[in-house]
Structure 1
Amino acid sequence: MRPLTDNPVTSPEDDSFHFGPYVDVLHAAVEQATPLPLTVGVFGSWGAGKSSFLRLWERRFEAGKTRTIWFNPWKYDRKVEVWAALLHTILAEMEQEETLKEKAVRLAKAATWLSVRAGLGTAAALGTGGVIKREDVDELLQGLSEGDAEQYRQVNRFEADFADAVREFVGADGRLVVFVDDLDRCTPESAMTVLESLKLYLAQAQCVFVLALDVDVLAAIATNKFGEALKGAPAEVASGMAYLDKIVQLPFFLPDVGFDTLREAFRPYVSELADDPFFWELLQRGLGSNPRRLKRYINVFNMALAVARGQLPPGAIDRRYSLQLAVLLIIRTLHRGFYHTLTAEPDSWLTLTRFFEQAQTNATIRQTASLQLPPYLHDVATDSVLERLLTHNGQERLSPPDGPAVRQMISTLRSTAGPADPE
């Protein structure tokens, strides 16, 4: 059993999702972008492959003179001001250049001072990549009580000084590409401060900022933050999307990865049923085309089958049992309420399947679900997604397991996926 990992793809040879052509298009557009800075939004849902896309794009810059920096904001979330950690990550790279070291340290102190003024205190030192030590922060704090005209001057000039440092770092015609991954994993406040810092402190530099995020998550965060202040304004002004439009000049929505592509990419990792078309039909119907969800599912399914073979007598696990276990794992993943019902009433799978099958040929039965089914199945009687999974109107139908078999499968899943979350 070879588990699938969630590590992002880093080389074109491993681009099983076929992102390459899209990377080419975006790369060509950014290469021609002037004047800078430019902010690019790579938008995609959770688990859609944003990190892989960014890593593939990062490799494209290796052949040229463009310099790149990778920043993971969630590593600093709740520890330091994330926007300050972004600045210090860039400045720490600049510090490696002997001719830039003094300027980078001076700018890092100014950034730390900004953090101190924002109320961060000595915690500012945690996100500076070693450029600023705790004693430096203590010195700045002492300076606040003694007069900080010089610090104010540095802050007022920070944007221009930072732009000068970047120009020296990349050359007069160069550019610095900063990849900001997983921004939507941060707390709402941290994510917003990162976006705002791009406008406040970095708006003159020769930089391309690439933000990987779920646009719906960030739009909701922005709407919550500014909604009350913009109450009564037109929807196109008050929405979070309107705010993001001001930050992101070049939006790019990650292409959907087709299920056929995912099947070919993941087939070598499926220990059993890898060449069974019905198995993949069930996965497509029950889980959709989210790469991360499918990876985790296949890992758990492989483990569950291996455990089941150790629990049951030889020959007890046939194709039907394996498919039933596959469906039960889908139910556990996306239909938690029904899964909890099965733990208490394992015959419910058979009962509900028969109801769905009868209802598909007799509409009256569906209208009288409260009379046809026990009370604990009333809520799921209208779940069309669950109905398609249990009945599957294709060339093949999966017969439901009986109660004892369901209990055995639930025991197996407890050993591999753990107990289901409470309702």
Structure 2
Amino acid sequence: MKALEDKGFKAPTEVQEKLIPVIKKGKNVIGQSQTGSGKTHTFLLPLMDKVDAARDEVQIVITAPSRELAGQIYGEASQIAQFSSPEIRVTNFVGGTDKQRQLNKLGNQQPHIVIGTPGRILDMINEQALKVHTAFAFVVDEADMTLDMGFLEEVDHIAGRLPDKLQMLVFSATIPEKLKPFLKKYMENPVVEHIKPKTVISDTIDNWLISTKGKDKNRLIYQLLTVGHPYLAIVFANTKQRVDEIADYLKKQGLKTAKIHGDITPRERKRVMRQVQNLEFQYVVATDLAARGIDIEGVSHVINAEVPSELDFFIHRVGRTGRNGLDGTAITLYDPSDDLLIAQVEKLGIKFYPKEIKDGEIVDTYDRNRRTKRVKSKDELDPTLIGLVKKKKKKIKPGYKKKIDRAISASNKQKRKVDRRQQTRTARKAKKNSNQ
């Protein structure tokens, strides 16, 4: 309760309200909810409440698919642990850190709570330094991302080293088919809770759509960042190469820009994340590695330099802004070839506002679907009448307009007559068949 007070939490989120009582009872849980719904505290609070700090052994094991996510969970667990007496020991095991130092430390004392990436945790277990057979709970966070990044095998090996009588919690934004055999293998009668988001993204986010047709994309991103005056902006690209291109261009224009992607060394990534949190950078260019679950405070603008091919990533990217009830702006750059992807995003209930940069300002512009959205007559015209209508646009003789209107009216009347005749025939046929 002291930790919650320190965080300024007043009321539980929906996922916390539904699952904390279930987790307290020791049940296995599959929690499906979006990033930013309060999942981390959903498992940390009830599990840490059960930790016996007097016992010098591992009691909880938590895996996360990336170092950044593991670091985030570690930060939240450490914040809760500091209010415990005696002290609850929390350790973060991720790649890119001093392995020997961690092994030496484990030789002297085991942590109560183990948090980390699957590879490094398994490494510590295989070295026979980390003793996880005493754990009462195992948490797999962001399980779908764990599967996508190819770490499910390591998670499987970790689960195999844990005791049979174990509370297992799996949290995931989606439950892909390939994840189900793993869940079935380790979880008996789990409580499955799917927290459907009230809206796919926060209603405090404005979604702008900007066409890149005939424009220099890098220059357009630079203009958006300088015209829009963001407090902190993240530019997302689909590939590491594109991230490098955008970041290099922005740096050449004099903008202090950080970049985050998989090819950057873990140590460097950790340093950059820390600098971003300390607001030493106003602009960050990243791949989707930074889109899932990483909570960078104060992001006012998100720019999709490209439309992601997976809809989930659009939600995760845009969800970096507009957090905790704050306003946010998400700008998506699109090429005419992206129309299908944009239409799919709109089907999720996201409304785009078309914008363009004009005279150094961001202004409203035409809807890309304006042609297809024009009101059409319910009665379609035949080709000869279309020809008449086209002629109407040119210089016309007196009385020509009335002639067109009469022709259209006569055509529609004839169509209705044919339709009625067809309906009568169909009705007679149906009656005849029913009498046979």
Please report the TM-score for the alignment, with normalisation by the length of structure 2.
0.34
| Greater strand proportion | 2
Structure with higher RCO (Cα < 8 A, 6+ apart): 1
| Greater helix proportion | 1
* Structure showing greater Rg: 2
Please report the TM-score for the alignment, with normalisation by the length of structure 1.
0.35
